[in-house]
Structure 1
Amino acid sequence: MQLFASQTVGQRQSLVVTAQLQQAIQLLQMGNSDLQSFIEGQAEENPFLELGLPRAPAPREMSLPSQARAGGDDDWDRIGQLAADPGPSLYAHASAEVARLDLSSADRMLAGLFLDALEPSGWLGQPVSAIAERAGVDEEHATHLLRILQRIEPAGLFARNLAECLRLQAAEQGLLTPAFDKLLANLPMLASADLRGLTRACGVDLDTLKAMLRQIRSLNPKPGATFDAAPSPQRPPDLIVTASAEGWRVDLNRSTLPSVVVRADAARDMGTRRTEANAYVAERLSVARWLARAVEHRNQTTLKVGAEVVRRQADFLQGGLSRMHPMILREVAEAIGVHESTVSRVCAGILIATPQGTFPLKSFFSAALGSSTGDAPGSASAVRHRIGKMIAAENPEDPLSDDTIARIIKDEDGIHLARRTVAKYRDQLRIPSSVDRRRRAVMNG
């Protein structure tokens, strides 16, 4: 066997993902707030780059012909998005209340262990026996102190379970009758809507039981959640849709849109004074100019995608979710001349403010559902909205099953839906099944 070396020549094309290309792809996925953070980080490393937020720039817009006229010209109100003062946390509130109690130093240490075991719901997250063992006291003494701590407002704090939490609140409001106490002792029967069993267990008639159920619904099962449930501030939108004389107008939200400022004069001064720094100056200046172009390209692409989406969903802007048309990424990509993955990346992190509310841009993309009437196919979003309205208007004592909903939509709208598809859309809307809805109606009287 002979071995010999040979050399061949060929051509091959390949795409090399450079660091700059990776950054350009990341910029497409950023909202205005993320983009500002990114530019700030780049400005800390580059002396020839600054973050700029123009106060009153000329609006960059695309007017779309439309017969619809809706909405107003009000810009995004940033002041209205400021979160209110959430107040003290649950731990701070409970600690302040414990400090007001006349406790000995040993009991204060034990109370600190109870505070550490307090969960965000307001319940006690550890057994009393474990807390007593850690403190080196007997369980009876720890239980006595727990009863003192359970007097702290709001009622229900330091409860060991749901029944005790509700019992503490019922006692404070004067609702804890013997029958009500038996109701709290049979919460599993209440969960299964066994009203006949509850009437026997509580020794009351059905009307009295329904009155007790209305009282129990007025209690708070998680009293501690009111302290740490500060509303998360809503992120301002990146695109704003308004109605103009020419039709629907799509603007970039310039009140939050950052820009890149290239300090070319500083680069010239540094290059003149220090000849040996010319290579560094040229490299940093090139990076700053590339980032400015990349951000501008990101803004242009975002505006094009948003304008095309609004053009295709003009009926939604006037009629709401029931007028949503089916639309896929490929259709928008072909219309504006970009790749489908580019549209997907832009829609991933962009919010758009419309006369119907503020939505993620990706929520406008919906699959088409088959129609038997010969009309245009319906969108999954519109059908999902239709299911929600049907369930909201149903008779609580006779809720619509998934099969019934599918049959009604087929008969009235001509859209074929399988039962499992209705169940999937119902789960996405966080609507329980017809069995659970009927059980809830029974509990609500």
Structure 2
Amino acid sequence: MALGARLEIRQGQGLVITPQLQQAIKLLQLSNMELEAFVEGELERNPLLQREDREAERESEAPAEVAGDVSTDRIDDAGARAELDSSHDEASPGERATGDAETGAADAGGSIDWSKAGKGGPAGFDGDLDSLENTLAREKTLAEHLYDQLAVAGLDAAQSAIASVLIDAVDEGGYLRVELWEIADRLGCEPDLVEQVLGVIQGFEPTGVAARDVRECLMLQLKDRNRYDPAMAALLDNLPLLARRDMAALRKACGVDEEDLRDMVAELKGLTPRPGAAFGSEPVTPVAPDVFVREGLGGLWHVELNSDTLPRLLVDQRYHARVAGAARSDQEKTFVSDCLTQANWLVKSLDQRARTILKVSSEIVRQQDAFLAYGVEHLRPLNLKTVAEAIGMHESTVSRVTSNKYIATPRGVFEMKFFFTSAIQSTEGGEAHSAESVRHRIRQLIDAEASEADVHSDDRIVEILKEAGVDIARRTVAKYREAMRIPSSVERRRLLKDAV
């Protein structure tokens, strides 16, 4: 059979993901900060988009109610399904704003409007924010402190360049988080030269900085105090034995008696395992919850979106009419038309995103009503499929909604993924137990240990849990214990013995 090129026409059906559909899917999984950055970029690119003036809206009309009351007994599942758009990804370009009072998300799509804030910042402040920030006291960071010492270290140009790279690789705790051969390969120099410059930096303050591990950090501090002898070196080489409190093995490894070992351990405790902790660092951005859950009357839970994290955008119809009327060439008309289509789709996608988050979080609250009321021991096993079937969505949509989203409850702020836990079967064939609640019980049992006689082995914990109706294997208990960084029963007995 001869081979050759030819043209064929075939007819078939297939699912095509349009750019608008991709945008709607993308917006679902964005976090608050990512969504704000995306919206800012769209505002710069699209002249037909503008932020909604919330102050003017408040003056013209009262805000629409955002949230619904949710409880295990009273939530209207049928109403929730009817309110849900059967296809999350389909949207009508005719909608102009992210708020929709009929769906209950009108006020939920709001955001802080800085349009009235000029150089001086928000209303009521007449000064210059930049000048104010510059006058505030700020702690010097570890990197700045090291660079100050590098400036007077007397290194040549090549050594200073290597030192700068090393300082940039030091984390906030003071440890060097890069291999020396990588720096040598990147800068095209000999590893011995990098090692030499590292020795200079390790002589900077604070003592122990730029160490590559805990052992080296403690060694540098001991050398600075002239206390690094063969016995101390042996102790640092056997830090895992010290962590397990195996004093007999430590005495044999160090070649000292019990009293000398006790003094050496006390000296180690006086050192600083994180030399960089005393310096300032970049401020940690607090988590902004996407949803608030508050207890209402009659044991109902009031679920509402955090309006400060949801940008509200409008399509400027007046400006569109002006530029559309002034367009002359086909290229200009196409540009205006594309801007209008993209603006409408973005506005609709943001509104759909807000309503979808509200519906998913409301179902999570309904499923985990017992946790909110009574605590972590009553956390129910939950998976994406259960929530998806309850609200009539696909599992992938629920997965995207719960990524990088947080719920503020009376018991704290939790990531939405926290409420999805695996199930552990009951010994009596009853309702399954949540893995998180089982971990909590294991933690409680171990925290209650007051003496060596009270220490529970993993086998004993399995027996106690089975008596409480939890069917769990020993290896699962050991896995949960290790995940919570709880020592074994042997190590806990040693710790309690030393404490006495």
What TM-score results when the alignment is normalised by the length of structure 2? 0.68
| Contact in 2 for aligned 1:52/1:260 (Cα 8 Å) | yes
**Structure 2 Cα separation of the partners of residues 136 and 11 of structure 1:** 67
Match of 1:34 in 2: 34
Match of 2:293 in 1: 241
CA change 1:338–1:117 in 2 (3 A) is closer
DSSP-derived class of the 2:472 partner: coil
Match of 2:23 in 1: 23
Match of 1:4 in 2: none
How many Å apart are 1:202 and its aligned residue?
5.7
Letter in 2 for 1:23: Q
Confirm whether residue 403 of structure 1 aligns to residue 403 of structure 2.
no
Confirm whether residue 94 of structure 1 aligns to residue 146 of structure 2.
yes
| Contact in 2 for aligned 1:183/1:198 (Cα 8 Å) | no
**Structure 2 Cα separation of the partners of residues 44 and 262 of structure 1:** 14
DSSP-derived class of the 1:192 partner: helix
Percent identical = 38
Letter in 1 for 2:143: Y
How many Å apart are 1:90 and its aligned residue?
2.8
* Cα deviations by residue, 1:44-83 (Å, 9 ceiling, x for unpaired): 222111244746754510112479xxxxxxxxxx9xxx9x
Match of 1:366 in 2: 421
Matches within 5 A, 1:192-271: 192-193=241-242, 194-199=246-251, 205-207=257-259, 209-224=261-276, 226-227=278-279, 230=282, 232-245=284-297, 247-271=300-324
**Structure 1 Cα separation of the partners of residues 203 and 12 of structure 2:** 78
DSSP-derived class of the 2:360 partner: helix
**Structure 2 Cα separation of the partners of residues 217 and 396 of structure 1:** 24
How many Å apart are 1:377 and its aligned residue?
1.4
Letter in 2 for 1:297: Q
* Cα deviations by residue, 1:177-213 (Å, 9 ceiling, x for unpaired): 97xx623443233422442344456665435533532
| Contact in 2 for aligned 1:378/1:415 (Cα 8 Å) | yes
How many Å apart are 1:315 and its aligned residue?
1.5
Q: Which moved more, 1:153-162 or 1:423-432?
A: 153-162
How many Å apart are 1:363 and its aligned residue?
1.5
**Structure 2 Cα separation of the partners of residues 112 and 437 of structure 1:** 48
Letter in 1 for 2:308: S
Matches within 5 A, 1:228-377: 230=282, 232-245=284-297, 247-276=300-329, 277-377=332-432
CA change 1:256–1:215 in 2 (3 A) is same
Letter in 2 for 1:274: A
**Structure 1 Cα separation of the partners of residues 474 and 463 of structure 2:** 9
Letter in 1 for 2:266: R
Confirm whether residue 423 of structure 1 aligns to residue 478 of structure 2.
yes
**Structure 1 Cα separation of the partners of residues 53 and 267 of structure 2:** 55
CA change 1:316–1:19 in 2 (3 A) is same
Letter in 1 for 2:67: E
Unaligned runs of 5+ in 2: 2-8, 74-111, 113-132
CA change 1:217–1:400 in 2 (3 A) is farther
| Contact in 2 for aligned 1:240/1:352 (Cα 8 Å) | yes
Aligned-residue Cα RMSD (Å) equals 4.1
CA change 1:274–1:230 in 2 (3 A) is closer
Letter in 2 for 1:409: L
Q: Which moved more, 1:10-19 or 1:301-310?
A: 10-19
Q: Which moved more, 1:292-301 or 1:187-196?
A: 187-196
Q: Which moved more, 1:184-193 or 1:306-315?
A: 184-193
Match of 2:231 in 1: 182
| Contact in 2 for aligned 1:410/1:416 (Cα 8 Å) | yes
What TM-score results when the alignment is normalised by the length of structure 1? 0.76
> For 2:66, which of 38, 60, 65 is the aligned residue?
60
CA change 1:109–1:48 in 2 (3 A) is closer
CA change 1:254–1:159 in 2 (3 A) is closer
Letter in 2 for 1:404: R
CA change 1:273–1:418 in 2 (3 A) is same
CA change 1:280–1:85 in 2 (3 A) is same
DSSP-derived class of the 1:250 partner: strand
| Contact in 2 for aligned 1:352/1:359 (Cα 8 Å) | yes
* Cα deviations by residue, 1:244-277 (Å, 9 ceiling, x for unpaired): 2252111111122112211111111112233544
**Structure 2 Cα separation of the partners of residues 337 and 135 of structure 1:** 60
| Contact in 2 for aligned 1:53/1:256 (Cα 8 Å) | no
DSSP-derived class of the 2:308 partner: coil
| Contact in 1 for aligned 2:234/2:254 (Cα 8 Å) | no
Unaligned runs of 5+ in 1: 2-8, 68-77
